[in-house]
A and B are shown apart, each in its own frame.
Chain A
Amino acid sequence: MLTLDRVYAFSVTPQRGIDEADVAAPSGGSVRITNALRQVVDRAFEKVSATALTTVDFDFDGLRNNEVRDQVMTVAFGATQAPRTAASRLARRLSATMDNRSRSALLLVTIETDDPKRRVSMLLLPREDVIQLGGSNEELLLTLLNDAFSTGSGLRKVARMHGHNNKSQFLSAEVLDLQLMSGQKSVADFWIREFLKARPRLDSETGSRHLAVAIQRAFDAAPENDRDAAIAAIFKASSGRVAKTSLAKFADELPTELHEAYFRGLADGELRRTAFDVDRTIVKTILAQWMITTKDGVVIYAPADTIGKAVQVTQSGAKRTVKYSGTIDKERVVRGRRGAAK
């Protein structure tokens, strides 16, 4: 069972663009653990655990070095003053990656122990002004944590790493980033790419392939009244409007009745909740062609981007109708297959 062992808190202000040597050290340090703090942190982590966290892998230089991972392991396993110094370095790094679009914030670093394992969590909490942290500011910290987790709206970001002291550990982080799916790349990238120096665990091609095939399954399974929602999901995925998503997150675009088909064959775990960059070309390629067969045996084979434009599908009650008008490029007679026309 994990026990809260140490807590560090730092006030971080945006310092991006400032010369490395001139980046001011963030104020803050160790926080005394009281029963009240322990309770509020436990409650906060219960809320975090109930949220779908996505997994990211740290970027390494070939020799298994990553600045954030190295500091986090020192925070977890270092001796004497080393953990506090490492926590301060993390805060300084965070500050140096924040630009003026970010407001001042409070970085909370917690260490929980369950020998030989440690869990290090970094929480970014909103704070409009810079605060001086020290022994007398526990009340303020409790208020901030309570506020952030009572509604959930105040919490900005979480990164959590767990493991024992071995080179095979702390290679990835579980991340909560409410801006992760933001269409604005720089906003989505700040916490993961720039601060953590990490990347989505699922590569873009694999994730996009799974997404397209899952949507295809949902579309095929959709009854008449859910067909429009499935079509809308196809357009959204292939339009480029969704830069980053997860299979679980994108399911929100579909009616619940289609989730069974959408998730079929996708293990209920990391694969579903891991975010990836959507490769629009892959999605479009897989969902490229639509085949519409009418009651009188006419088959329309249409590129997806002509649906809703040259190829108009309308619905009236349970009846769906297709209309198409276009210039013939070539035509030929093919031998009929037995039973092809009904």
Chain B
Amino acid sequence: MTGPPRGRDMQRVIEAYEPRRPLLNDLARALQEHVVRKLDGLPHIDRVAFRPKDAKSFAQKSFAADEHGRLKYTVPLEDIEDQVAGRVLVFFRRDIEPVVRELKRTFNSVEQVRKEPESHDAFSYESEHLVFAIPPSAYPTGWESLEHRPHTFEMQVRTLFMHAWAEPQHDIAYKGAVVLNSDERRKIAWAASNAWGGDAIFEQVLDSLATRTPGSSQD
């Protein structure tokens, strides 16, 4: 069983991780350029952004426990897969699938999970999560001489509405010092339902417009 990390354990991990940040930054930049180039021409892409994980967040994750209370990561410098992560934001739900398809054509896919509430009457986080193998063409100079290094990077693809809910919710729920009460959770879920509704309404508008677009069958 593992307990909460002590300050000096955290510091030790931060000191091991921090010198690698420039390389992770170079890797993030190379991957971002690659993704921007590959998605060029696809409509409704708001932005593509990559980042290296910050040292404090990495250190905290290093001490995460599995369901048996044991350390989840044997070698965190290899096992934590979001040391470099990217995100693609699109306008509409229907834009997610073509982006995912193109990303899967570009990189070797390891995992793909659609994050969404399990219950039909719940509103919460939604996003397409993917894990890809890091291609050798993106390795920055010095990457291959690192003794421990991640072999994968993470990507999220989601709409602006999904993102507009996820970011402030993450800030409040994970970074807040106080545990949310039931009323606060309900309000956050209400905000999620509005984000979901925003996406759904835009889809309906697009469907409606399509019926009146010159060349469509109902013209």
Q: Could you list which residues of chain A lie within 8 angstroms of chain B, going by C-beta atoms? A: 55, 57, 59-60, 62-64, 116, 163-169, 171-172, 199, 201-203, 206-207, 210, 267, 269-271, 274
Task: Say yes or no: is B109 at the interface (Cβ < 8 Å to chain A).
Answer: yes
Compute the total of residue contacts between A and B using a CB distance below 8 Å.
76
What residue in chain A is nearest B140 (Cβ atoms)?
Answer: A267
Asked if residues A172 and B75 are in contact (CB atoms below 8 Å), the reply is no
Chain B residues with CB under 8 Å of A168's CB are 78-81, 150-152
Q: Mark B103-146, 1 if CB is under 8 A from A, else 0.
A: 00111111111000000000000000001010111010101100
Q: Which of B108, B111, B113, B151 has the most CB of A within 10 A?
A: B108
Tell yes or no: B73 within 8 A of A by CB.
Answer: yes
- On whether the beta carbons of B79 and A270 are closer than 8 Å, the reply is no
**In the assembly, what is the distance between CA of A206 and CA of B37, in Å?**
12
CB distance from B143 to the nearest CB of A (A): 8
Closest 3 CB pairs of A and B: A57-B108, A270-B136, A271-B136
Q: Which residues of chain B have C-beta atoms less than 8 A from A165's C-beta?
A: 74
B73: chain A residues at CB < 8 Å are 166
Please give the number of chain B residues whose Cβ is less than 8 angstroms from any Cβ of chain A in the complex: 28
Would A62 and B112 be within 8 Å (CB), given that A166-B79, A169-B78, A274-B136 are in contact? Answer: yes
Report the nearest A residue to B75, measured CB to CB. A164
Q: Pick the residue among A60, A163, A166, A270 that contacts B110 (CB under 8 A).
A: A60
A317 to chain B, nearest CB (A): 41
Instruction: Write out the residue numbers on chain A whose beta carbons fall within 8 Å of the beta carbon of B105.
Output: 203
In the assembled complex, the Cα of A116 lies from the Cα of B110 at a distance in Å of: 23
Q: How far is the CB of B115 from chain A (nearest CB, A)?
A: 13
B108 touches A199 (CB 8 A): yes
Give the residue name and chain of the B residue nearest to A205 (CB): B106
Residue among A168, A172, A202 with the highest chain B CB neighbour number at 10 A: A168
In the complex, 28 of the A-B residue pairs with CB atoms within 8 angstroms, ordered by the A residue number, are A57-B110, A60-B110, A62-B111, A63-B111, A64-B111, A64-B131, A166-B73, A166-B75, A166-B78, A167-B79, A168-B78, A168-B80, A168-B81, A168-B152, A171-B110, A201-B133, A201-B136, A202-B136, A202-B137, A203-B135, A206-B135, A207-B137, A210-B137, A267-B144, A269-B144, A270-B136, A271-B136, A274-B136
